Amino acid sequence: MTENDEGYTPPEVWTWDRDSGGKFASINRPVAGPTHEAELPVGEHPLQLYSLGTPNGQKVTILLEELLAEGIEDAEYNAHLIDILEGDQFSTGFVEVNPNSKIPAMMDHSTSPPTRVFESGAILLYLAERFDEFLPADPSRRPECLSWLFWQMGSAPYVGGGFGHFYAYAPSKMEYPINRFTMETKRQLDVLDRRLADHDYVSGEDYTIADMAIWPWYGQLVRGELYDDAARFLDASSYEHLLEWAERIWERPAVKRGSMVNRTWGSEERQLRERHDASDFEDAPADQ
């Protein structure tokens, strides 16, 4: 790929250019399936999470920490690090848990046979239903929570794969995709800001898995935690209701703990490479 894509004419049949540049060029492939044999580790708890502390991974560890904070001991989990830049998601063991080779993926060994769950939204729903928490049972309120949960699943790829990719990761800055995905990202921020103008939480009066799904992407984006300077570029301070909600969620100790798990970058006190026991957080200042 050249610095300037003007004048590019797509060939009749696309072929894979392994050196397309960009941060993820080394792991992205146009085919699925495993690249190597390796088993996944299995720890002592029923729930085995295979993940990384990106927003998609943080959603699940935030929910698990919230469940544990409620005193639900059966939500104890081992969180194993999957290093996607090293290609861990393409091992035979990982592909057995998630044929889509993306974190997060989870095995529940409390069932016989063990249950696999992949896709962060499916994992949140599985855990919320299993422990009957953070998902309203009332048929007049449950659909609102599920609507926002699925809104996040459909919307965030425009932020991550679109805006974030072209603003922060692409090998050169290209005006057309940056404009296109910035416009959509700002529209989504406005959707949330309007919703939160007259609701405490995204799905209404209760803190639910919809907040836990949305905060790691949109809460962290407006708090300046994603894509370098993106909060400034997006004029995040203008989304005042969204920012207030983002700060309120961040004040929750379980959110602070959950967002550290399987995180291997950023400030050291906000990293916990693997989580196998509640005591793993003890030395971390973020849990104070």
* Interface contacts to ligand GSH, rule CB under 6 A: 27, 54, 56, 84, 89, 101-104, 119-121, 153
Please identify, using beta-carbon distances, which residue of 161 and 285 lies nearer to ligand GSH: 161
Please identify, using beta-carbon distances, which residue of 57 and 243 lies nearer to ligand GSH: 57
Tell me how far, at minimum, the Cβ of 217 lies from ligand GSH, in Å: 10
Please identify, using beta-carbon distances, which residue of 125 and 243 lies nearer to ligand GSH: 125
Tell me how far, at minimum, the Cβ of 275 lies from ligand GSH, in Å: 18
Instruction: Please state, in angstroms and rounded to a whole number, the distance separating the CA atoms of residues 154 and 130.
Output: 24
Please identify, using beta-carbon distances, which residue of 209 and 243 lies nearer to ligand GSH: 209
Tell me how far, at minimum, the Cβ of 104 lies from ligand GSH, in Å: 6
Instruction: Please state, in angstroms and rounded to a whole number, the distance separating the CA atoms of residues 60 and 118.
Output: 11
Burial 182-197 (b: 16+ CB within 10 A, else e): beebbebbeebbebbe
Please identify, using beta-carbon distances, which residue of 25 and 286 lies nearer to ligand GSH: 25
DSSP string, 117-183: EESHHHHHHHHHHHHT-SS--STTTHHHHHHHHHHHHHHHHIIIIIIIIIIIISSS--HHHHHHHHH
Tell me how far, at minimum, the Cβ of 141 lies from ligand GSH, in Å: 23
Tell me how far, at minimum, the Cβ of 85 lies from ligand GSH, in Å: 9
Is the peptide bond preceding residue 113 cis, with omega within 30 degrees of 0? Answer: yes
